[in-house]
Structure 1
Amino acid sequence: MDREEPDIESVASDAIENESHPQNPESIRQEKSPVQRTDSKATADYSDPEQRPPIFKSAVHEIVSCVCLTFAPCAASMSSAAYQTSLTATSEHFKISGGQLTWCVSGVMLANGSCLLLMGNIADAFGRKKALLFGYTSFAIFALIGGFMNDFILLCVFRALQGAAVACGTPAAAGFLGATYRDSRRKNLVMSCFSIGAPIGGASGYFIAGVCVSIFNWRSVHYFLAILYCITSIGVLLFLPNDKRIDWKHAKKIFKRLDYLGALMSLSGFTLICFSLTQVDATERRWRTPYIIALLIVGIALVIGFGFYETYVPKNPLIPMKMFKSRNFVLCICIASLSWMLFFGIFNYNAVLYFEQIRKYSVIITACCFLPQPIAGSLVSLFAGFTMHIIPGKYLVTLGCGGFIVSSIIWATNSIHRNYFLGPFWSFCVTVLGVDFVYNVANRCSLSSVERSLQSQAAGTFNTVIQLSSSVGLGISTTILASRDPYYGQASQADHLEELFEGMKYCYYVGIGFSGLALILSLFLDIGVVGSVKR
């Protein structure tokens, strides 16, 4: 009963090891929890994977706990989407436009993606519940402070700190669910609800910002997020089982072996790439500006160097390169990367510009235009949860990529004054097919397609890739707009809406190419049904 904590790379590694064992070490560890006491007999009786895990006292306890955990992947995408919707109000307040303005959005995703792998190890040192409490409360504090900022650079800094703070929550939440549930249809449904966090959180962020900005101002978005995650942290404190007492010897060992240089290289590389892509429109000579080209080259070199460094240098790399020996894992990572560049970086960013800048919709009307995403997305995620044990994952991913292609074509052929219900509405409905199917299937596939010792790193790598891809997607969008619209980011931008709309259409042409490539890659997947239990 008092056995030593296993030496693992992140909080999720024991999740997979326990899926095939009725006796769950995580449940045993929580004997003394005031919230839930689970003895060895109760854990051993957990023979039916479809029953409610004995760690939960009731259905309500299970539901509330899962909802609290779902807010972990939701935080970065919800705040990024909310800040996208409030871009116009932020621009007017700080007198900043163009690609520079996207830093207050991409900073959250960039910091979150760059810190996910590192924070996962830190969460392992202190425990899942402590990691979630730290992530949620820090996110709330930084959101609150950001709401008082009167300097644009400081605003971007505190928004980036939000993303970094909550990065430790996602692997901790995934590790808790993985350790609690055994492979089954029940786990499919729970993990699908958990997966709703990222895409649906993003889609809901648009509506949250619309209501806040229309009633108050852009600062109220920060206050709302601070209140929401303060309440969520209380839920975690009251309902999640307590961690075992911190083993400082084990924690010290983890801190010693962390790959700090790898984390610095990845953060620096992607930051320089995004900076060069978004700063183009702010310079007079655009791509002929020497420092823009220089920083882009240095950023790409750092990312490539990061790959070689992770392969040959550290004993405990953030991303073990041998994971990429699995064809399914590589394909899932590539498809997810293309999908998130499309969803956050191209589709939704340009949609906000279209509604607010070109159609001159108010913030609340823009938010209402995005409502089909969370509604349809919730239904699609539930459908995935109920059918992943019946329908092979390959077909679901292919269908999702097809949804991205259809959505790209709808936007690329959209006229500047087309009725909302004849174009954008249907685009939003089919886009979530891609987001939810790709996230649900690729996330589970990333865990199951590599050996057990690498599954925690695979989960961290998957979530890191989608966050960083979102930031790169924003950079690509602003680069295309700056190259096609000479007035983009200038004071006279509002007087040349035809040029802005033409630049947006080129973004969607690129989206057709990305989604087409993702569809082709999905044809080479070899993913069957997930969570099917033989009786």
Structure 2
Amino acid sequence: MSDNEIESLPSRVPEDEIQPQSLIVEEEKQENQTIQKVESKASLDYADAEQRPPIFRSNIHEVLCCLFLTFAPCASSMASGAYQTSLTAISDHFNVTGGKLTWCVSGVTLANGSCLLIMGSIADAFGRKRALLIGYSGFAIFSLIAGFMNDFILLCVFRAIQGAMVACGTPAAAGFLGASYKNSKRKNLVMSCFGIGAPVGAASGYFIAGICIEALNWRAVQYFFAIWYCMMFFGVLFCLPNDRKIDWKNAREIFRGIDYCGAFLSLSGFTLICFSLTQVDATTSRWRTPYIIALLVVGVALVIGFGIYETYVPKNPLMPMIMFKNRNFVVCISIVSLSWMLFTGILNYNAVLYFEQIRKYSVIITACCFLPQPLIGVLVNIFAGFTMHIIPGKYLITIGCGGFVVASIIWATNSIDRNYFLGPFWGFCLVVIGVDLIYNVSNRCALSSVERKLQSRAAGTFNTVCQLSSSVGLGISTTILAAKDPYYGQANQQDHPVDLFNATKYTYYLGIAISGFSAILSLFLNLGVVGSVKRQNSVTRK
């Protein structure tokens, strides 16, 4: 009985309405049992780890929910990939070249990565379903607005808001799945399907943009995202199980305890780093420009300060620092960071330049060249889902790092007129094998390093590293191109394809070094199989 109900009782109760003490005790016992059943169902405390969680009404309901959740991490990477394909069209429309042009790509990933941590707390306050609805609707609305922009700076601003909005849904989606399933083969398959979102979303973005630009123009890409995520909004609204009612008192406590200072440090630090790296080619003195060096130093200092601050100062840090006490997680997240710098910032970005500005392919042909990535990515994620309980995670990550090494070598030794199926095709296939295997195993490592109530924050931390690494990778790539190609960022850049091709070689050399270092780090992992019910029961008995 609630306090309000107790206060509403009359001061004197008639004797004939007084219940025996034994009856009162029995009613309280039944009430407690009912509450325990509800809480048990809410926490998904079911016996067989391989069965369908009881929150799903049927297998079809489970598949639909997982599908709608997968498009949360897909949004940012898909938008980033689509705008990489759109670079030439946007450059011609706004008359912007060089590092400045990459802001329409990195803006969404930078804002997404910087806001993911704080959005995990919002998901805890309002509920995961509500956070997804906010993220999907906001992404759709600001995609539509960005499609009407006639100023490049405003386009980048609204692109950044898109990234911030969808950041509200990514930790909520991962937290929902992480808390809904026990470690099992079923959870491996579900999380692998969820893992398709980020890497395959990026690859699919190239193809989507190619079709939209070829059929209409670059604005059609934004309109497509607006329509698609409006559909995803209604899918989540009607399909995903409802959250508990908002506890406004608890929500106020959560907002009062959010680490706003940590959010400011991370956002400002990575923004300054990316700005200084991408702005180099726009200055006459390049790296001799004083404010470029100053902003880079301040940005690095802020990022280091963010790490120190999160470790010692806040009572409720944005990042669950307990994760970093796990050696496997530290190694995994380092490999993920290096891999995403290489995947988005170096290999895929320079591949777009190679096809569009060096080989002079049309947008639709460029999109077709990227088509192996989503196709191979789906197969790799299915393979990971069915084998993570058999093959130790250490071996899967090592294989993934090997894929990055070979892909980097293929691109570094590629000639300007090599046949697509003798070079780039195999580079695309191998890089997707690498990114998908690493994403699946590392994501599970991140979620398993914290307790269930911190699943959203763990997912936010993991995806933050992915998005921010992509932005930094783009900045490093454009810096190398600006240093090695005297025409990069100039109005006549496309008139000198050979110089641009020779400059991209140096980015691939860096890619070989990064992937090689990642492969060495993978040897220090001690990750076993994931989701083995037999092994889990054995550990429990011990």
TM-score where L is the length of structure 2:
0.90
What is the aligned partner in structure 1 of residue 38 from structure 2? 28
Q: Which SS does the other structure have where 2:279 is aligned?
A: helix
In structure 1, distance between residues paired with 2:453 and 2:428: 39
Query: CA contact under 8 A between 1:27 and 1:43: conserved in structure 2?
Result: no
CA distance in structure 2 between the aligned counterparts of 1:420 and 1:56, rounded to whole angstroms = 45
Counterpart residue number, 1:344: 344
Show the 5 A alignment for 1:341-380.
Answer: 341-380=341-380
- Structure 1 runs (4+) greater than 4 angstroms displaced: 39-44, 450-456
CA distance in 2, matches of 1:412, 1:43: 50
Cα distance in 2 for residues equivalent to 1:131 and 1:324: 26
Per the alignment, residue 241 of structure 1 pairs with 241
| Deviation per residue, 1:116-154 (Å, 9 max, x gap) | 010110111111111100100000000000000001011
Shift of 1:252: 0.2
Checking the alignment, whether the CA contact within 8 Å between 1:84 and 1:349 is kept in structure 2 is yes
What's the offset of the Cα at 1:28? 3.5
Could you tell me how far apart the structure 1 residues matched to 2:318 and 2:131 are?
18
Give the 3-state SS of the residue equivalent to 1:390 in structure 2: coil
CA contact (8 A) 2:41 2:54 kept: no
Secondary structure in 2 matching 1:528 = coil
Residues in 2 aligned to 1:27 and 1:215: alpha-carbon distance in whole angstroms: 55
CA shift for structure 1 position 40 = 5.3
1:302, distance to aligned residue in structure 2 (A): 0.8
1:116-515 correspondence to structure 2 within 5 Å: 116-450=116-450, 456-515=456-515
Residue 5 of structure 1 corresponds to which residue in structure 2? Answer: none
Q: Which amino acid aligns with 2:38?
A: I
Tell me, yes or no, if the aligned pair for 2:178 and 2:447 is still in contact at 8 Å. no
TM-fit CA distance, 1:448:
2.3
Distance 2:481 2:52 in 1: 51
Shift of the 250–26 alpha-carbon distance from structure 1 to 2, 3 Å rule, reads farther
The letter of the residue matching 2:499 is E
Q: Structure 1's 330 and 40: CA in aligned 2 closer, same or farther, altered over 3 A?
A: closer
Equivalenced residues, count: 504
Counterpart Cα distance in 1 of 2:42 and 2:138: 38
Structure 1 residue 447, shift from structure 2 partner: 2.2
Counterpart CA distance in 2 for 1:58 and 1:433 is 32
User: Residue 487 of structure 1: SS of its match in structure 2?
Assistant: coil
Judged with a 3 Å threshold, the aligned counterparts in structure 2 of structure 1 residues 184 and 488 are, in CA distance, closer, same or farther, namely: same
Unmatched segments (≥5 aa) in structure 1: 3-22, 30-38
- When residues 88 and 41 of structure 1 are mapped into structure 2, their CA distance, relative to the original with a 3 A threshold, is closer
Question: Could you say which residue in structure 2 is the equivalent of 1:87?
Answer: 87
Rounded Cα–Cα distance in structure 2 between residues aligned with 1:521 and 1:226: 40
Q: Tell me how far apart the structure 1 counterparts of residues 449 and 116 of structure 2 sit (CA, whole Å).
A: 20
Q: Deviations over 1:229-277 (max 9, x none)?
A: 0001100011011112111000000000101111011100100000000
Q: Would you say the 8 A contact 2:43–2:180 is kept in 1?
A: no
Deviation at 1:320, TM superposition (A): 4.2
Contact 1:99 1:282 in 2 (8 A): yes
**Which secondary structure state, in structure 2, belongs to the residue aligned with residue 316 of structure 1?**
coil
SS at match of 2:275: helix
Contact 1:323 1:454 in 2 (8 A): no
| Contact 1:213 1:363 (8 Å CA) reproduced | yes
- 2:121 and 2:301 mapped to 1: Cα distance? 26
Native 8 Å contact 1:26 1:179 kept in 2:
no
Counterpart residue type for residue 143 of structure 2: A
| Alpha-carbon separation, structure 2, partners of 1:41 and 1:457 | 19
Q: Distance in 2 between matches of 1:26 and 1:213?
A: 55
Kindly indicate whether the alpha-carbon contact (under 8 Å) linking 2:44 and 2:181 is maintained by their aligned counterparts in 1: no
Distance 1:364 1:293 in 2: 39
Pairing of 1:13-92 with structure 2 (within 5 A)? 28=38, 46-92=46-92
User: Structure 1 stretch 441-450 or stretch 272-281: which is displaced more?
Assistant: 441-450
Change (3 A) 1:360 1:239: same
What residue number does 1:8 align with? none
Distance 1:258 1:232 in 2: 28
Q: Which residue of 2 aligns with 1:35?
A: none
Partners of 2:77 and 2:62 in 1: how far apart?
Answer: 24
Identity in percent: 74
**Distance between the aligned counterparts of 2:530 and 2:314, measured in 1?**
34
Are the counterparts in 1 of residues 172 and 456 from structure 2 also a CA contact under 8 Å? no
Query: CA distance change for structure 1 residues 63 and 298 in 2, over 3 Å: closer, same or farther?
Result: same
- C-alpha displacement of 1:459: 2.6
User: How many angstroms apart in 2 are the aligned matches of 1:351 and 1:269?
Assistant: 28
**Greater shift after overlay, 112-121 or 46-55?**
46-55
- Secondary structure in structure 2 of the residue aligned to 1:319: coil
Contact 2:175–2:459, Cα closer than 8 Å, also in 1:
no
Q: CA deviation at 1:319?
A: 2.1
User: Quick check: 2:174–2:456 contact (8 Å CA) kept in 1?
Assistant: no
| SS in structure 2 at match of 1:70 | helix
Deviations 1:339-379 (A, max 9, x none): 00000000000000000000000000000000000000100
The residue aligned with 1:11 is none
Alignment-derived partner of residue 16 in structure 1:
none
Partner of 1:20: none
Deviates more, 1:243-252 or 1:467-476: 243-252
Report the CA distance shift for 1:41/1:135 in structure 2 as closer, same or farther (over 3 A).
closer
Secondary structure in 2 matching 1:266 = helix
TM-score normalised by the chain length of structure 1: 0.91
Task: Label 1:272 to 1:27 Cα distance change in 2 as closer, same or farther (>3 A).
Answer: farther
* Structure 1 residue identity aligned to 2:420: Y
Q: Secondary structure at the match of 1:488?
A: coil
Q: Which amino acid aligns with 1:66?
A: C
Q: What is the SS of the residue equivalent to 1:414?
A: coil
Query: Is this contact kept in 2: 1:269–1:299, CA < 8 A?
Result: yes
* AA at the equivalent of 2:319: I
The separation in 1 between residues aligned to 2:399 and 2:308, in whole angstroms, is 35
Is contact 1:196–1:378 with CA below 8 Å preserved after alignment?
yes
Higher CA-based Rg: 2
| Structure 2 gap segments, 5+ residues each | 3-32, 538-542
Q: Which residue identity does 2:90 align to in structure 1?
A: T
Of 301-310 and 66-75, more deviation after overlay is shown by: 301-310
CA–CA distance in structure 2, aligned partners of residues 449 and 52 of structure 1: 24
Amino acid at match of 1:200: V
Letter in 2 for 1:423: G
Give the Cα–Cα distance (whole angstroms) in 2 for the partners of residues 135 and 339 of structure 1: 26
Shift, 1:195, TM fit? 0.7
1:34 is aligned to none
Distance 1:416 1:459, change over 3 A: same
- CA-to-aligned-CA distance 1:19-64 (integer Å, 9 cap, x gap): xxxx9x99936xxxxxxxxx959966x3222122222222211111
Shift of 1:179: 2.3
Q: Structure 1 residues 376 and 528, CA, compared in 2 at 3 Å: closer, same or farther?
A: same
Give the CA RMSD over aligned residues: 1.9
Letter in 2 for 1:28: V
